[in-house]
Structure 1
Amino acid sequence: MPRQASPTKQREAKAASVARAKSIAPDVPARIGSTPATKFRGNPAIFGRLVEDHDKHRALLAMIDATGPKDPERKTLFEEFVRDVHGHAAAEEQALWSTVMRNPDTTEFARHAVGDHHKLDKLMADAAARDMTAPGWLRHFAALKEEYLDHILEEETEQFVEAEKVLTPKDQTYMRQVFNRRKKAEKASAEIEKKIALSPIA
């Protein structure tokens, strides 16, 4: 399996991800603070690539939280978050989970990850359908933020760990290539669905 990146490489990888988020709205602070420890940050194969996106998304969430109701950056950042997450999730399912799901030892981990993606789709659609300039919008956004952060924590500390056990280093390197190709296409075609949830999202 790929060697764990050095602490310096891990810090550099995280900083690069935050910088990508900051490029969307340079004047909005991205205070993500400490992030959960994961051996995959800075990894050159698929899992490190996925954590790169996770760190970018952590930064985008923090930046959205830092905006006010009238700030135009709120809409810009939210739309970038939604499109990037849609592209990320679809590419992750195609590059990683479709293979991992075929192994009986890891089927449930893959199913759980994909199920989380569907729940996040609904939460993003609900937040997108609501008035971002309304004082209560951040309350709906907070539910999405909490769910997403829980999801990526679980992936980085549990699901990726189990998936790595059934994949060869060659598999993992190839999956990164597939992910990059598919994410570009999926993000480009991603649409922002708007649908208010009439009942609690489960």
Structure 2
Amino acid sequence: MKIFEALRQDHEKQRLLLKILAETSGDTPARREYYAELKEQLETHATAEERYFYSPLMKSDNTVELSRHGVAEHHEIDELLEKLDNTDMSSPAWLRHLKTLQEKVEHHLADEEREFFQVAGKVLNESQKEKLANNYQQEMRAELHH
């Protein structure tokens, strides 16, 4: 497996969790559980992605700007998660913040998959793509509490 497939698999999990959460209401055990899982997925993914995708790409003039943009979007996502953490789950504001997060994450994932993966594919060689995927997946397995 190459780094792009590994990242795309986790992107699909994030999209699904966001979709499920957007259909929840109130301060329910289901909402709490799905939100905890989403938050863990997003935070673990961002760290591992920065380490095993963005970091190596920072070394190339062709991908340094895209890498910096991706990392900046991770910070915006962190801020939205913090806003959700500080909002009562039963309040209508919580769902509004979640929808903002959903839009931000989906925009970020689409940017990566449509634009960044193609450029990165030209910068990284085949063995780098496989090694980065292995390292990324190992970190995800080690960090996720499932």
Fold equivalence (TM over 0.5): yes
In 2, Cα distance between equivalents of 1:136 and 1:119: 18
Larger fraction in helix: 2
Residue 86 of structure 1, aligned match among 13, 35, 43: 43
Residue 151 of structure 1, aligned match among 99, 102, 108: 108
Contact 1:91 1:186 in 2 (8 A): no
In 2, Cα distance between equivalents of 1:62 and 1:151: 16
Contact 2:84 2:98 in 1 (8 A): yes
Structure-to-structure mapping, 1:52-71, within 5 angstroms: 52-71=9-28
Task: Give CA-to-partner distance per residue, 1:147-191, whole Å, 9 cap, x none.
Answer: 111000000001111111111111100001110122234445xxx
SS in 2 for 1:136: helix
Contact 2:53 2:132 in 1 (8 A): yes
Asked if residue 109 in structure 1 is aligned to residue 66 in structure 2, the reply is yes
| Runs of 5+ unmatched residues, structure 1 | 1-43, 189-202
Structure-to-structure mapping, 1:191-202, within 5 angstroms: none
Structure showing greater radius of gyration is 1
Q: Which amino acid aligns with 1:76?
A: E
Superposition CA RMSD, Å: 1.2
- More relative contact order, 1 or 2 (CA 8 Å, 6+ apart): 2
| Runs of 5+ unmatched residues, structure 2 | none
In percent, how many aligned pairs have the same letter? 34
In 2, Cα distance between equivalents of 1:96 and 1:149: 18
Contact 1:87 1:184 in 2 (8 A): no
Structure-to-structure mapping, 1:39-188, within 5 angstroms: 44-188=1-145
Instruction: Name the TM-score, length of structure 1 as normaliser.
Output: 0.69
In 2, Cα distance between equivalents of 1:99 and 1:154: 18
Contact 1:90 1:183 in 2 (8 A): no
